[in-house]
Every structure is written in C-alpha cells, then in structure tokens.
A and B are shown apart, each in its own frame.
Chain A
C-alpha cells in the first residue's frame, strides 16, 4: 500500500506559489548563511582529524544525539534531549510520510517540552545563564509555530490526523466546511512561513548550534586527554635547521578549521563557565565568553587579521586558567577551550611578553632544573637519614621513584616523600631515585607555553632513563604522572607510569601492607584534576581510604569528574593571578560543610594550596590536610 500525502490539498495555487516563494527565499538565506560559516571555518589552518570515522560517529550518537553530557541535570537535560530529538523528527516528518502518523503526538510533546524549558529559563535559576531578547524571540516564534500547527491540524484533521488536531476540531467544526476550506490555506501558510523563517534564521543566531554542534561533535579529534597538541617538532627542526614556524595563535585564522567550527558550535549553555574555578574565584576568565569572543571574531571579519591579544582577548584571561579541564568536561558539544588557551599562551611566550614571575619560572627550570630556583645540589636533602637508594645502586630495582620538584624541595611535600618511602620499604618494593640527576620534567613549562624547553627536556630525560634501564615510574604528583604517561611517549620514552595512590592500592590488594584500621575518623577526598578528570583515576585513592576504614568516606558535593580545582595547575602556583577569592578557599569551605576529620589529597599542588587556605580559614586543627601516603604511613603497623 502506497502512503501518499498531498500536502497541497485544499491549498489554492496562489498559496502554493507563496509557499514555494517563501520556502525558496528561506532556503537561500539558510544556505548562504551556512556557507558563510563554512567559508570562515575553512580559513583556519588545516587539520587531519584523529580518530576513526566510526568511533567519532559513535561518539556523535552518544554525545550529540543522546546528549549524554547534559543528562546530569535531570530536568533540563532530559527535556532538552527529548525536544531536540523530537524537533528533528518533526522536520523529517515533512519529507517522510511514514512519520506522519506520529507527528501529531510528537508535536504535543514538543510543545510541552518547550514550555517546561522556557519556564525554567525565565525563572533564571542557573547562576549565570545569560538570556537575551533574542532567546525570547526565538521561543516566541517556535511557540507560534507550534500553535499555528495545532490550529492547522484542528482545521484539517483529514490531512493531519493528530490528538491535538482532534481535540481542537470541535472548535472549528461549527464554522462549516466552506469557511474551513478558506481558513486552512492561511493557517497552512502561516505555519510553514514560521518554520521557514526559523530555518532561515538558524545561521545568524544561537540556533546555529543545530548545525555546528553535531558537526563539531563529529570532528573533534579523539585524543588522549592529558596530552597537549604538539605545535612543532623540535627534533626535526634541529635536524633540518628550519625554525621557520609560527608558534601559537595571534589571530583567528591561526586556529584550525576544526577549532573555528568548535567556537561556532557554542550553544551558550554556560555549563563551562559555571564549572570554571578561575571564574568562581573572580578572575577575568570565563570560558564561555572567551569562546564567544573567538566566535564573534571569525564571523565579523574572517580574513581581517585582527590580533587576538589585547584587542579581543586579555592575556590575564589566558593566564588565569588552571587547565583543570572542567569546561571541556562539561561542554555538551565538545568544544576544546583549554586547547585554544594553550595556543594563545604559546604566542605570548614566544614573544617574551610575560611577567617577571613567569620568566623566572622558565629561567629556574633552565638553570637549576626545578621550579623553585633552589640549588640543584640540594635535590636529595629530603632523603637525609632515610637510606634511599639511587637508581642502579641495587640490582633488580622495580620502580624509579620520581620524587618531583615539590617532593624534593617543598618542606610540606617532603613529608609526603618520606611517607611514601616508608610505605614502599614496608611493602618491600624495590625502588631507586635519580638523586641529583633528577630534574624537572618541564610539564609546567609546556603548560605556560614554552614548548621548546619542554620538548628538549623530554628528549633528554627519556634518553637518560632509557639508557639507565628505567621501565616503571612511580610518582606522587599527578602532573608528573600525566606527563610521563601521556606526553613523554611522543618524545621517545614509553614507561609504565603509576601514581602513588595506584601503587598503594595495589599493595593493599596484594596484602603487602598491614594497616591499623582507624574506625573513628571521617575523611573526604579531593580528586586532583590531573589524576581524576584527565586520567579517569577515581577509585585507587578511594580504595586506599576505605582500607583505612574510616567511619565514613564522605564525598564532596563536587567530586570525581566534577571536582573543583585547587587553583594550582596551569602554572598558576608560580605567578600571581588577580582574583577575589582563592579556589582553594572556596574548596575548603565546601569541604568544611561536611565537617570531616581529615581532608585527603593526592597532589603536591593541592596540598600546598589547601595548607594556605587552611591558614586563611583557620581549619588546620579541626580539618587537617593530609596526603593519602601520609595517612597510610601513619597507619602502618
């Protein structure tokens, strides 16, 4: 049986002509608008997208169509997912008669969903949801579209059978067939005109996300989260002698076409800015606004060469970023905010336009191999009296214990180093340290944009560690962990890298450690950004805490992927950022609400930040900050 639907039945020729005219104009506006965007994207640098088409398509279905990322907000997320799926089906209903059967029901759900969300938006319950007259206008048009659709269906229930139409038709029936036949074409045209105008409006409004967002979700590369992009290959440049590379982004077309598509994909949902610790602490950075500035720039003048820094982006916004990745994690359309920030930081560093503290940081790394500027000969002072063997001093050493700059020089973190040594010795783990041969792996140099220094250090350290037979590395710093695990392989070093909480968890599992169970204390754990969000390791520290059997392991309101950054990453520890309230203070206040006995951490930056905040808030006595290793070392029998 052939399903036919003559949509022009009862529509006289003038109306059909008008329908096609409006449709063609709308289609023209839509197409030219989209082409303008595509042209703008293509002016960006070339990029080959990594990740197979199939894996990206799967991700598109999961993130783009099922909208998995927004489902954490039960109300908004579910309703938005429903109405967007239904919206597309309704549109498809125009072309596929088979959908006709359910269009009526869908339209009702669509209208209901819209009203639910608009209600929420007008009440503006979100902290920073930005609404403008444009949003109300769009909502108004969509509502008018839905209402005119219901009226149309009410008048012509034969062509458009639907529950809404059936419900409305008794209102119209008394008018009599002659009036209805005259009324119908007008309603049909009005409804169609509203649909067409919305379509034409898409390229010029935030509705552009209907096109750009799925595209961006498909074209965002599949990469390792913890690895930055590599803007140049230092080794190759040294070999060829060709250093003619523009480093970093100074104007909009220094970004790739995929990055520009990403800026365009922003739906203004504000999830990124709501999650951003730099924004919460009152710095100039707001991830969404940064992306929108870039988005506006490319639409205004794609080839103008207008400079980013100073004109459009304030360098302070870029430096305020702690690189915690909360924004990228939250974004439902997979925009890569932090990647853009790195590109712009790289330019500032290449020009040398950075303040004294940042210059000092790089100078210290270059001259003494640590971030503190302390004497290179003092690197092993933390181990005095501990009988720590050097790598190679004993046969059959399993782990290289990478102490890190903080573990070596920071008096607070030296306590963690000593605790970890105690644990490894108790469990008879055979390890060695590089001693004075250890120098900063320059992860932080890469984060502030000094890519060359990072690459050279990576090559040198990899060569040294390979030559000396290093296979496994254990470290107490998630930043060191991340860079060795995810970034160093590209530069010639592939090691099995373990964070100390992972090692301790494994030792406990294997029964190699005997702990006194302390049943009395409650502990809350702060997930470090570079261990949790970047490397998906949430369970190991929790397994260790549970092994200590506190009365309760209480979860912070923002934990795991939602963890709120301590504020120390991205180089922020080493320079001054203007803010109103430190991230660490915000986080400690959050922890204090739970009134735990101990705030547990697993990163030298976090501990350093929290110790400062504890002094400010006066919580050092009733809620001390402890590293996981310290808790275990104290509990060793």
Chain B
C-alpha cells in the first residue's frame, strides 16, 4: 500500500448559482449579494483527496485561480482537511478562457513542485466547459482519467472507475496522474464556520503571473484562444399538452409522445 501521497487539488470559486438572477435588459448576471462558493464537483475533488489522506496519509495542496475573494475557497478547503493553499490572483488572470486557465494552473502546479496525483472537478458550475482539467493535464503531459466515480490507490498506481453515459469502465494508471471527478464520487463533508475560521491559520500564499513565470501574452484575454461574442437569455414556453382519457389510454398516448420527442428510447 503506497504511503503518503502528495496531492494537489484544483478548486474554483464560483457564484452560488441557485441565487443568480439575470437582468433581462442588460443580459448580465446580477451578482450583487450572491454568495461565493466552491464549485460543486471541485468540492467532491477536495473530499476525495481528504478521504485518500485519511486512508493513506500524505499531503493535500489546494490551488485556485480567481479574485481576492477566492481566499475563502482556500479556507473552506483547508477546513475540510487540506493542508495548505495557493491562489493565482491579479488582473492579469481575468477573462481567461479554458486554455489560458489551464496554462496558468499548469504553471502554478509546476511551481508547487512534486505531486503524485492532481484532482479537480469534472467541470465548473459557471462555464461548464469540461475542458480545464484535460487541458491542464495535457500541458503537464500527465496521464488523465476523467469522470471518476471511484478512486483506489494501490502502491504506485491508481484504479479509477469512470461513469460514461452508456458504459462504465475501470482504468488503471501509474503515478503521477491527473483525475477529474464526477459529483457521484462522494458526499463532501460540511466544515463548520469555526473550522473555516480556524483554517485562516494554515499557510495560504498568493501568486502573481510573475511568481509563476508567465508572460502577459500567455494569460487573460490575450492568452485565450476563444472569446465570448454574445450572450442570450434562454426562453422557453411550456408545451402544456394534456393527455385525455382513461388512465391507461392517457398513459399510452404519453409514452407515444415521449418516444416521438426522442426523450424516451424503447429497446
């Protein structure tokens, strides 16, 4: 059994999506007063790292990229069981797309140094690109396993179960490895407010682009490969179709309709 894995967890702070509202005239998000939280599957990643540490020992370093408020995310991660935190903060990192984010995170990881495993959520709740994990792994030239629902650490390798929509597979990899996790992998623990406050005493370091050896052209909007062009508010009308008749008749009609719409597949 391998002892003491060195783990890095990437976690992003996002707005609490349930409380976001869209200003219908400006098409902008109303973020004033909305709580900032760790993105859900990143929380799962932190939880998984803590469970691995509880089982095998080792150390957990959390890395985030965001505004100064992201320090809260580091505190919460430490309160859950991480040992230390780093944040990439500064105007130079703003407006990064998935590529620029991956470049920045990879540079941060290189500066952190030695690791056996990198964990992060499969996607962030605001952008939903699913790309940052895989891109970062590529830049670092690491084997990557995505959509993990179970991780088993054995000596110098991992066994990871992946839940792909129509199949389930187990993948083995040697270390070091990059794993992105799905929300099904675990139920993240809830640290108390006191634990979060106590976490302030653990080491947390802020890095600028210069600290991690990146040039302005590699970051932010300049370093991005994509650019948001237009945002639109999705509207939808409910179809309001009533199935009439006796329960068995109505049920048949309903099934036919659903199959017709492609919502249900009959094998």
Contacts and interface: CB of A to CB of B under 8 A. Distances in A.
Interface of A: 232, 234, 237-238, 241, 243, 245, 247, 349-350, 352-354, 356, 358-359, 362-363, 366-368, 373, 375-377, 436, 450-453, 456
B190 A234 contact: no
Given A238-B197, A452-B197, A368 B190 contact: no
Nearest to B16: A367
B187 interface: yes
B198 A243 contact: yes
Contacts of A247: 192, 194
Interface string B190-201: 111111011011
Given A367-B18, A367-B37, 11 more contacts: A234-B194, A243-B198, A243-B201, A352-B189, A352-B190, A366-B193, A373-B18, A377-B30, A450-B193, A451-B194, A452-B197
B192 A377 contact: no
Contacts of A373: 18
Nearest to A376: B19
Interface string B140-181: 000000000000000000000000000000000000000000
B259 interface: no
B196 to A, nearest CB: 8
A237 B191 CA distance: 17
A452 to B, nearest CB: 3
Given A243-B198, A367-B16, A368-B19, A354 B35 contact: no
A177 B195 CA distance: 83
A362 B197 contact: no
A367 B200 CA distance: 20
B194 to A, nearest CB: 4
Given A366-B35, A367-B35, A375-B21, A350 B195 contact: yes
Contacts of A375: 18-19, 21
Contact of A367 (B19, B189, B191): B19
Interface in B10-34: 16, 18-19, 21, 30, 33-34
Nearest to A350: B192
Contacts of A234: 193-194, 197
B16 A368 contact: yes
A356 B189 CA distance: 9
A356 B197 contact: no
Nearest to A455: B193
Interface in B176-234: 187, 189-195, 197-198, 200-201
A243 B194 contact: yes
28 contacts: A234-B194, A234-B197, A238-B197, A241-B201, A243-B198, A350-B192, A350-B194, A352-B189, A352-B190, A354-B190, A358-B190, A359-B187, A362-B190, A368-B16, A368-B18, A368-B35, A373-B18, A375-B18, A375-B21, A376-B19, A377-B19, A377-B30, A450-B192, A451-B194, A452-B192, A452-B193, A452-B195, A453-B192
A232 B201 CA distance: 18
A100 B169 CA distance: 90
Contacts of B198: 243
A247 B34 CA distance: 30
A356 B33 contact: no
B183 to A, nearest CB: 12
Interface of B: 16, 18-19, 21, 30, 33-35, 37, 187, 189-195, 197-198, 200-201
Nearest to B195: A350
Given A243-B201, A376-B33, A352 B19 contact: no
Nearest to B199: A243
Contact of A377 (B21, B191, B194): B21
A452 B194 contact: yes
A358 B187 CA distance: 12
Nearest to B190: A359
A239 to B, nearest CB: 11
B15 to A, nearest CB: 10
Contacts of A358: 190
Contacts of B197: 234, 237-238, 243, 452
Contacts of B30: 377
| Chain A CB within 10 A, most for which of B18, B30, B187, B189 | B18
Contacts, number: 67
Contacts of A238: 197
A453 B190 CA distance: 12
Given A238-B197, A376-B33, A352 B191 contact: yes
Nearest to B33: A376
A456 B193 CA distance: 9
Nearest to A366: B35
A356 B187 contact: yes
A354 B189 CA distance: 8
Contacts of A362: 190
A363 B36 CA distance: 12
A518 to B, nearest CB: 42
Contacts of B200: 241
B188 to A, nearest CB: 8
Contacts of A450: 192-193
Nearest to B193: A452
A353 B188 CA distance: 10
B193 A453 contact: yes
A349 B18 CA distance: 24
A245 B35 CA distance: 28
Nearest to B21: A377
Contacts of A245: 194
Nearest to A361: B190
A243 B16 CA distance: 28
Nearest to A375: B19
A354 B191 CA distance: 11
A241 to B, nearest CB: 7
The 5 closest A-B pairs by CB, nearest first: A452-B193, A243-B198, A352-B189, A452-B194, A367-B35
A191 to B, nearest CB: 61
A330 B226 CA distance: 70
Contacts of A376: 19, 33-34
Nearest to B81: A352
B189 to A, nearest CB: 4
Contacts of A352: 189-192
A241 B18 CA distance: 33
Nearest to B196: A452
Contacts of B201: 241, 243
Contacts of A356: 187
Contacts of B189: 352-353
B150 to A, nearest CB: 19
Contacts of B187: 356, 359
B30 to A, nearest CB: 8
B192 A349 contact: yes
A247 to B, nearest CB: 7
Contacts of A359: 187, 190
B195 to A, nearest CB: 7
Contacts of B18: 367-368, 373, 375
A343 to B, nearest CB: 15
A288 to B, nearest CB: 31
Contacts of A350: 192, 194-195
For A350, A359, A367, A456, the residue with the greatest tally of chain B CB atoms inside 10 Å of its CB is A367
Contacts of A237: 194, 197
A456 B197 CA distance: 11
B71 to A, nearest CB: 16
Nearest to B79: A352
A464 B201 CA distance: 28
A237 B190 CA distance: 21
A400 B262 CA distance: 54
Contacts of B37: 367
A375 B187 CA distance: 24
Contacts of B194: 232, 234, 237, 243, 245, 247, 350, 451-452
Q: Which residue, B21, B33, B192, B200, has most C-beta atoms of chain A within 10 A?
A: B192
A352 B189 CA distance: 5
B193 A363 contact: no
A161 B72 CA distance: 83
Residue of B37, B189, B190, B200 most packed against chain A (CB within 10 A) = B190
